[in-house]
Chains A and B, each alone.
Chain A
């Protein structure tokens, strides 16, 4: 309906392969970025930051990472929580061992640590697939959480609960209890924008195609010269890198204090997996939509059921769990590619309207 594409033609492959080839999409993206960068920072408050925007953004980040592994490369993982913990604990260790190190580097390095751990646990993917692999990744989940809980070195021989020390960026506190919501929001947003762009670049290029070819038909991929192990491990590495950064952001920015068995338990793994199923497997946009859905639905339900209808918090929680489960089934039946595909179909319809095809 709104799309007008007559007269938009491409003179070279660079123009043809750009991320947003349609002019109207560029405008939409521009509007979103303007709101995110120039409007929200001025109106944000503590509630919006901690309850809505930060969870949405960090889970988008993590979902992006998991979607690379599950959605693009077709390797199921239930170890997300464990990898988030690796990110959080390695950033804690780095941060306390090198207090002078800039927080950005700390977080990037902890992403690197997570990538290494991810590769290690990705090794079985050479021999096993599907739910066998899911079970193997559960080992990562349970082992890693146990390790962070049991090995005192990881929490500097203090309490098993770790707390983020205050750190500054450009003179503004971004971690610790004194940090302003605006600074924290912008810090996470910066990570999100840069790494979303990188993810988009990866999935549209050679590496992304090698992941997808392994996902769609690994035998054919192998005979095209794609090395299955290398490809799968690269997906594990990139995915874990993102998840690790996400874990570090949860620890430093969003929560400030975490305990491995609580903050990163297996339910986190399910949570993120559900986010990408609902959002859309194999879609960068899907990671955002799924994270938005999973992070914001409880907030919405609480407002409606508890604050509005006066229901007990417990009951509302149970309803939420059921709703999530039902939606997973619903999406798998009706639209296995999730919200992102629904958006794509809508967009396609808008582009064709008034014609249905």
Chain B
């Protein structure tokens, strides 16, 4: 567990004047008995868990444990064979991607899925798509309401740019950015949606220590500043244990543990399934 030290924030050692001002609410999203199969292969087997409003929830597990599949279920890209998803006061057998997006579920991808032909700014602006309503006619003229709407959303996106400290990259085509910054821009695109829930698929994969620290800081800030619920898949155990409030552990598509980082760390099944083999 040497990695855990690299991200020790040291906040607990700080003097008075600090407080966890977040309010963790009731469950905002939950899944019940989800089963996902591809052909004959079971990717997720009867998994249930809930996510509380305002918390950072991690899903961990060895490679192929079904973590990404779980995120894909949550935002509607995969349709489960059985089980249900409870969200926004309703219950669904499967999520619809558009419904997820329009009800405030945003996500990033494990392999960066930016729009490579566009600039950083335009990529972030795509995150505002659902907030922009002006019809085709006004769009043609780029005048009056359409321009007003465009500029208002630009102003919003600029706040995200400021937040993520990417002002210098505004006009750069994202394809030219280094990997770590692409990840940051992708987070920015998700943030531009004003999400209630942010799904992060290995946000720190392939990053160096410094980039990981930056990204962790951004995730914590998003969670604290905007009260955004974060659901996170991450390989780096140190990061997960530092960041998250509660952790779900998957192994071969099944849930083997669920609890606070400390509880999970102490769980024998988890140690056997994951922690034991992670030190390669």
Residues on the A chain within 8 Å of B77, using CB: 219, 222-223
User: Which listed segment binds B: A42-50, A184-192, A209-217?
Assistant: A209-217
State which of B109, B126, B151 has its C-beta within 8 Å of the C-beta of A13: B151
Known: A216-B116, A217-B113. A202 touches B127 (CB 8 A): no
Taken residue by residue from 96 to 125, chain B's Cβ proximity to chain A (1 for < 8 Å, 0 otherwise) reads as 011011100011010001111110001001
User: Which listed segment binds A: B35-43, B139-147, B219-227?
Assistant: B139-147
Q: Is there contact, CB below 8 Å, between B122 and A212?
A: yes
Q: Is there contact, CB below 8 Å, between A224 and B127?
A: yes
Indicate if A17 sits at the interface (CB-CB under 8 A).
Answer: yes
Taken residue by residue from 128 to 144, chain B's Cβ proximity to chain A (1 for < 8 Å, 0 otherwise) reads as 11101010100111100
Indicate if A109 sits at the interface (CB-CB under 8 A).
Answer: no
Q: Is there contact, CB below 8 Å, between A225 and B102?
A: yes
State which of B75, B98, B118, B150 has its C-beta within 8 Å of the C-beta of A227: B98
State which of B101, B128, B151 has its C-beta within 8 Å of the C-beta of A17: B151
Known: A198-B140, A212-B117. A222 touches B126 (CB 8 A): no
Q: Is there contact, CB below 8 Å, between B113 and A206?
A: no
User: How far in angstroms is the closest Cβ of chain A from B26?
Assistant: 26
Q: Is there contact, CB below 8 Å, between B129 and A201?
A: no
CB proximity to A under 8 Å, residues B135-176: 136, 139-142, 146-147, 149-151, 154-155, 158
Q: How far is the CA of A219 from the CA of B201 in the complex (A)?
A: 15
Residues on the A chain within 8 Å of B139, using CB: 201-202, 205-207
Q: How many positions in chain B have a CB within 8 Å of any CB in the partner chain?
A: 41
User: How far in angstroms is the closest Cβ of chain A from B120?
Assistant: 13
Q: Is there contact, CB below 8 Å, between B114 and A223?
A: no
Q: Which label, helix, strand, loop or mixed, suits the secondary structure of the A interface?
A: helix
Q: Which label, helix, strand, loop or mixed, suits the secondary structure of the B interface?
A: helix
Known: A205-B146, A225-B130. A17 touches B115 (CB 8 A): no
CB proximity to B under 8 Å, residues A202-246: 202, 204-207, 209-210, 212-213, 215-217, 219-227, 234
Indicate if B255 sits at the interface (CB-CB under 8 A).
Answer: no
Q: Is there contact, CB below 8 Å, between B140 and A225?
A: no
Residue of A at shortest CB range from B116? A216
Residues on the B chain within 8 Å of A226, using CB: 126, 129
| Most chain B beta carbons < 10 A, residue from A12, A17, A234 | A17
Q: Is there contact, CB below 8 Å, between B189 and A224?
A: yes
Residues on the A chain within 8 Å of B113, using CB: 217, 219-220
Indicate if B239 sits at the interface (CB-CB under 8 A).
Answer: no
Q: Which 4 interchain pairs have the tightest Cβ spacing?
A: A225-B101, A201-B142, A216-B115, A220-B113
Please list 15 pairs of residues, one from A and one from B, whose beta carbons are closer than 8 Å in the complex, sorted by A's number: A13-B154, A202-B140, A206-B132, A209-B125, A216-B115, A216-B117, A216-B118, A217-B113, A220-B109, A223-B76, A224-B106, A224-B126, A224-B127, A225-B129, A226-B126
Further 16 A-B residue pairs, CB within 8 A, beyond A201-B139, A220-B115: A198-B141, A200-B142, A201-B140, A209-B122, A209-B126, A212-B117, A213-B118, A215-B115, A217-B116, A219-B77, A222-B77, A222-B98, A224-B101, A224-B126, A224-B130, A226-B126
